[in-house]
Structure 1
Amino acid sequence: MKFLKFLLFVILIVVIAGAIYFGTQDGTYQIEASREINAPREVVYDIVNEYKTWEEWGPWKKEEPTMVFNYADKTSGEGASYSWQGEVDGSMTTTEAVPGISLKQDMTLQTPGGERKPEVYWTFETTEQLATIATWGIKGEHTLMDKVYFAFTGMDFEADMQEMYEQGLTGLEAAAREEIGKYAVNIDGITQYSGGFYLYRTTSAKAPSVPTIMSQNYNGISTFMSENNIAVTGMPFTIYNETFPNGDVIMTNALPVREKIIVAGDTNVFSGYMPTVTAVKVTLVGNYINLGEAWSTAMKHVQDKGYTLSNEKPFEVYVTDPQDHPNPADWITEIYVPIEDLK
């Protein structure tokens, strides 16, 4: 009996000593991972902000395919939430959402050792190259039971979380790449384009320098109009005076105006007029890098239908301003191929 009491006393001492040891170990943690993603900040933010996308780019289903996700009525922005059932059930709620900048989320995990409530956070920064640095972090505090479990099982909590977050960012990068790569080319058929007056610059350009020269031309025209209090009455457009097999062009970059403008001085800005034309219209919704395919579609349609090209040059109208629509998948470009009036 004395031996049994002694044994229980020793066990009690060991338990107390262990509790003191583990209890005095720092249980706070903060783990984060960052990734530079070649996509606009707004696009990356919007993907993360919408919980319904997490099931696709998150790493969880790869490790646990049977995991079930449940979504609340509100799944994006402050107050949004979702939950899941799996080996460890849990839920997450967005507590703060600064559009395009940051997110804060409260997570609840139902572990065998009890409920855990870590905090999750995201930040999004734009680089000089207009890519996005996405940072995904989590912070919280381990309970005494957590610290004992990690010590006896050898589990490296921080390393496991770091690996999971890196995998998640890889999935997020793929999701962002897919999002900005979406595009569609639609043949709208024959239409009337009303034309009108415009201010323009005409330039020859090698294929690789077309975007740069185009931007310079529009900036020059816009500056001239601003200095002379001339209002723009429509969206920018480009007339292709001549195109060459190697991609080089002679192009006219133009901004519509209400009436004929008398241009004086050495401004390199000129006044022009486009008559009403009958044209085959094709619309590209997506990045400008797909314009080649859109133009090929337009010209093939003209050929297949046996239409005759008119003397007016083909042109494209930029319906959306990329500054207002950061996602290239939302850019709209209308292509017009003027044809002879049908009889």
Structure 2
Amino acid sequence: MSVLKWIFRIVILVLAVFLIGAFFLPKETSVARSIAIDAPAEEIFPHVANLKATEAWSPWLSRDPEVQLTYGDVAEGVGATMTWASDHPQVGSGNMEIVEATAPSHLKTALDFGDMGTAMAYFDLVAQGDATQVTWGFTSDNGNNPMLRWMGLMMDGWVGPDYQKGLENLKNLVEGA
């Protein structure tokens, strides 16, 4: 048998393993990070419920000083929107809309990254004595897309550190550090 036939068979086998293996991976990807902030939820919530206020602690916006931000007519809460555009690969382009807001404990946003897909992000704020446990997370439905399912395995490593940095920035901002 010729070398080309063996190479062709190996390529077909690798593709089959990739495609079939993807369907054994989770359909949903989720990432979450938490931090305790020494302030009541009522003092923290405005920093996440007003999309313009997120500029002060976002872990991504500082990576590209040229990022273009556009805000909708609603300033905060349900219906507030933000669109961003950047050539920086770690910022990219997309839009976000707040779809749920229960002050001062919960906020949910719909994210659209264009060709990169969609996701839902959330903030949960839970009182813990004089502090508040703030959890920032997201979930994404990868559906039957094998590439998204494989990428889902890496999302915690890609997004998790940014979420942690953002929460640390938020903590420093709220606590005045």
Q: Same fold (TM over 0.5)?
A: yes
Q: Which residue of 2 aligns with 1:167?
A: 165
TM-superposition CA deviations, 1:12-52 (whole Å, max 9, x none): 33322321123322242221111111222111001110000
SS at match of 2:23: helix
TM-superposition CA deviations, 1:293-335 (whole Å, max 9, x none): xxxxxxxxxxxxxxxxxxxxxxxxxxxxxxxxxxxxxxxxxxx
Q: Which residue of 1 aligns with 2:132?
A: 132
Q: 1:17 to 1:132 in 2, by over 3 A?
A: closer
SS at match of 1:79: coil
Distance 1:150 1:34 in 2: 20
- AA matched with 1:49: A
Matches of residues 1-343 of structure 1 in structure 2 within 5 Å?
A: 4=4, 7-86=7-86, 87=89, 88-110=92-114, 114-129=115-130, 131-142=131-142, 143-148=145-150, 156-178=154-176
Q: 1:8 to 1:99 in 2, by over 3 A?
A: same
Instruction: Please tell me whether the aligned partners of residues 29 and 155 of structure 2 are also in contact (alpha carbons under 8 angstroms).
Output: no
Instruction: Give the number of aligned pairs.
Output: 171
Q: Which runs of 5+ in 2 are unaligned?
A: none
Instruction: Please tell me whether the aligned partners of residues 75 and 82 of structure 1 are also in contact (alpha carbons under 8 angstroms).
Output: no
RMSD: 2.6
TM score, norm. by length of structure 2: 0.83
Which consecutive aligned stretches of 4+ in structure 1 deviate over 4 angstroms post-superposition?
2-7, 147-151
- AA matched with 2:95: S
Distance 1:76 1:96 in 2: 11
Q: 1:66 to 1:24 in 2, by over 3 A?
A: same
Shift of 1:118: 1.1
Shift of 1:78: 0.7
Larger gyration radius, structure 1 or structure 2? 1
TM-superposition CA deviations, 1:162-193 (whole Å, max 9, x none): 21111101111122234xx9xxxxxxxxxxxx
Q: 1:31 to 1:117 in 2, by over 3 A?
A: same
Distance 1:74 1:22 in 2: 40
Shift of 1:9: 4.6
Q: Which runs of 5+ in 1 are unaligned?
A: 182-343
- AA matched with 1:121: Y
Q: 1:66 to 1:16 in 2, by over 3 A?
A: same
